[in-house]
Structure 1
Amino acid sequence: MRCVAHILDLIVQYGIKDTSVFMDRVKGAVRYIRTSPSRLTKFNQRVKEEMIDSKAQLCLDVPTRWNSTYMMLNVAEKYERAFESYVRDDHNFFIDFTAGDGVPTFDWKLFEEL
């Protein structure tokens, strides 16, 4: 017999499978920024420049935790303007995303619907 948390995770994963491209882009952006202290510093500078008042840390989702995808997207949405600024200014970020998951544009309206 499956536990309730596992069943809930399966339901959530089924419900968000149509938004996988958007979530892959957000996950890739968060991973790209968090893997380097200098990138994280640049991102934090963008946050200050955009005057975003949030102390939440960027976090990646964990496949075994049903609410981690929500937490990742919720924090990323708070930093929407910082991500857009980072995309414009960091050419390596743009090149990495163009080679991988596609052009680094984020459809934040899709997030709101989700």
Structure 2
Amino acid sequence: MTKWDEHGILDKVTTALRQDGRPYMTAYQLAIKLERAHPGLAERLGKVLGGAGIGVRNSLAEYLGGQLAGRIDREGTAFPVERAYLSNDEIREVRFAAPDGDLVSSLTGSGYHLSIYRLRGPVSDA
């Protein structure tokens, strides 16, 4: 069993996305929401939350983004989450309010666009 399955990450992600309706969220925002809703999740997965300057290449934010991207690429429209990209053009910094202080995107200025995710299709209360 993978860590993704063992910790029910897809259910946690879809619950987090459902709370806000259908706006897109970054992997950073998802990581923060999951850590707030499930304190210690990052540590249980062997990760830190993420962001620029943490000195770690595989943060919770990066893990979520990688897992979501791979599953979206493999499963296409059958996967309950869809992805789009926010351009890095003219962005100096993207800063998030994390549980232990501000978290800054490490993608800003990297040449990579920031992936953003939302639930696919209409959101129900079920």
Q: Same fold (TM over 0.5)?
A: no
Higher helix share: 1
Task: Give the TM-score taking structure 2 as reference length.
Answer: 0.28
Which of the two has higher C-alpha Rg?
A: 1
